[in-house]
Structure 1
Amino acid sequence: MPDVALKSTLPPTEAAAPEAAPRARQHPFRVVSPPARDAEPDMLRDGSLSEGWGGLIEQIRDSAARLRDKEARLQDREDQVQQLVLRTKEELQAAAERVFRAEIQVHEMEAQCKRDVGEAERRMLEAEEKVRMMEGWLARVHDTIVTEFS
């Protein structure tokens, strides 16, 4: 009973497939025979083969010479770039050293300025003390003049 149900669910085209004739297969490649000896180009027959090869060799030599020239120019440019990089590194190093020395000078100048300001403040305090002492003496001299001449 299950076999009958299975056969009835198949589409009619598949059921008829065993009765149909098989299709002929087509190959994706095509066989080509080599050209006949008389079908060769004229250059192979009339002796100009050496001229063709000679021209090809000359083209190869010209191409190789151009390539060597380009490689030489490229090498020269690479050398120039390397020299430029080295000079730039040296200049950067020299600039960094100048900056370092300038920073040291700035710190030294700051320290000197702090010492100078400290010394100026000390002298100012001494001068203020002298002024107070002189004002004290002036006050005594004034008091003495006032008491003696009054």
Structure 2
Amino acid sequence: SKDWSKLIERVRHAAKHAREVEAQAQEQELRVQEVLDRVREDVRNAAERVRVAEARTAEIQSRADALLKAADEKLKAAEERARTAEEWLTRVYDTIASEFTIEPDVKRTP
């Protein structure tokens, strides 16, 4: 009977320990689930931030491309105006040179 009592006590102790381990396992599982939920939310938030950043980058790139194109067109127009001005200046100079005799400066003595 003494052996049976010890056996019953051991079974009770083992059952109690098993319940404690099970409770700890459930608590651990809840904590892990909470951590996973937070990680999932963080991943969703990060993905949204990436999406917003990519959209903003595409918008900025588009604006930069438009500005570069406009600047290039302005540069080409300015170069064309400069070429035209140079041609006219050359024509004016040639006309003045052909119509007027340009003599070297003569030193005047008082």
Q: TM-score range by the shorter chain?
A: 0.7 to 0.9
Say if 2:34 is the partner of 1:83.
Answer: yes
List alignment gaps of at least 5 residues for structure 2: 102-110
Matched, 1:145 2:71: no
Q: Percent identity?
A: 38
Please tell me the residue identity of whatever aligns with 1:66.
Answer: H
Structure with higher helix content: 2
Matches within 5 A, 1:40-51: 49=1, 51=2
Question: What is the CA-CA distance between 1:57 and the residue it aligns to?
Answer: 2.1
1:60 aligned residue:
11
Q: How many residues align?
A: 101
The CA RMSD over aligned residues, in Å, is 1.4
Quick one: which of 62, 65, 82 aligns to 1:111? 62
Q: Which has the larger radius of gyration?
A: 1
Aligned residue number for residue 72 of structure 1: 23
Q: Whose relative contact order is higher, 1 or 2, with alpha carbons under 8 Å and at least 6 apart? A: 1
Q: Write the distance in 2 (CA, Å) between the matches of 1:106 and 1:55.
A: 74
Counterpart of 1:60, as a letter, is V
Deviation of 1:137 after TM superposition, in Å, equals 2.0
Which 5+ residue runs of structure 1 have no aligned equivalent? 1-48
Q: Deviations over 1:30-64 (max 9, x none)?
A: xxxxxxxxxxxxxxxxxxx2x33322221121111
Partner of 1:97: 48
Corresponding residue number in structure 1 for 2:105: none
Q: How far apart are the structure 2 equivalents of 1:72 and 1:149?
A: 112
- Structure 1: which 4+ aligned runs deviate by more than 4 Å? none
